[in-house]
Structure 1
Amino acid sequence: MNAFLCPLLLIQNVTSPLAIFWRWDVQQMPMV
């Protein structure tokens, strides 16, 4: 259980800031 949960939390920690940055980047770009 822990062996599966640890990578999942690590992925979540890495993708969370990326998702926030991606949303900010999309908001800055004009809609095509």
Structure 2
Amino acid sequence: MMYVNRMMNDELNYINYMMLCYVTNSLIECM
């Protein structure tokens, strides 16, 4: 259960990071 929770948390962090990156730069730079 903890493992799944950790994975979901990482996914959310990754999405947040991508959104921040997209706002500050452009999506191409984020990839």
Q: TM-score, normalised by structure 1?
A: 0.50
In 2, distance between residues paired with 1:17 and 1:6?
A: 17
Q: Kindly name which structure, 1 or 2, has the bigger radius of gyration based on alpha carbons.
A: 1
Give 1:8 deviation, angstroms.
0.8
Identity %: 0
Aligned residues, how many? Answer: 26
Alpha-carbon distance in structure 2 between the residues aligned to 1:4 and 1:12: 12
**5+ residue gaps, structure 2:** 27-31
1:7 aligns with 5
Any gaps of 5 or more consecutive residues in structure 1? none
